[in-house]
Amino acid sequence: MQHFIQHFIVIGNPISHSKSPAIHQAFAQSVGLDIRYHRQFCPDDADSFRAVVEAFFHGGGVGANVTLPFKEIAFELCDTLSDYAKTAKAVNTLCLRDGKLYGDNTDGRGLVADLLSNGVDLQGKKIALIGAGGATRGVILPLMEQGATLSIFNRTLSKAQALKDDFAVFGEMAVYGLDDLATGDFTFDVIINATSATTTDQTLTLSPTLHATVAYDMMYGKPSPFLAHFAAQQSKTLDGYGMLINQAKLAFELWTGVNIELNRVQLPK
């Protein structure tokens, strides 16, 4: 009997920090599947991304995760999309369905699952999102589904306004420029950094009168000046590792059809 190994990748730039391979190997081990999951660095342009995706699936690959900065490029590449991917206009999970490239976005549901598992109630809460890129697009609908009220802060106000317009059918959002974070007087239940500032060693300028009960940085694996700002205020702080695990769980289940019970998984630290 032939031994079948399933192959997966995560595509990004940068990518060396990604813990996705270890997480998915742990998932597979918990349910007795034999997989190979690798990091794939890709030059930051659409043609290179397309070439990587086509080569991987042409070579028999089963599923691919997509991280910064390719989520919106992945969306453009897909033949069919989940409802979450359609509303996000961003894709973080790829596979083939009937020979067609299918895209899903598990980020937002992963974020919500992590917040809820950490005892953070979202119903009726005021939530701020910093950034208006693919990471933010992916989480707006799941947060709105939880009954949260959203505010978006972004350097380019027109991009934040475009998000507001795109999601108007689901609910109201307030939009602000990034400068308002440096000078404004705001209090939120949850504030989420959905920019790559932590990964790229950039510092967001945050006003001393900016307060939040919970601060969440979608990035993980590096010290976060963003989280440090709120830790100094005795806010609850969370990084994106729990979101990574929960969005990965949804991707793994999509690819394999096997349900993962996180309490049975030996997750990497």
Q: Which of 249, 198, 178 is nearest to 14 (CA)?
A: 198
Active site residue 71: yes
Cβ proximity of 152 and 139 under 8 Å: no
Cβ proximity of 15 and 40 under 8 Å: yes
The string over 228-244, giving b where at least 16 C-beta atoms fall within 10 Å of a residue's C-beta and e elsewhere, is ebbeeeebebbbbbbbb
Q: What whole-number distance in Å separates Cα of residue 264 and Cα of residue 269?
A: 15
Cβ proximity of 30 and 266 under 8 Å: yes
Residue with tokens 């308002």: 180
Which of 71, 125, 164, 249 is catalytic? The answer is 71
Please state, as a whole number, how many other Cβ atoms lie within 10 Å of the Cβ of residue 138. Answer: 30
Q: Which residues are known to be catalytic? A: 71
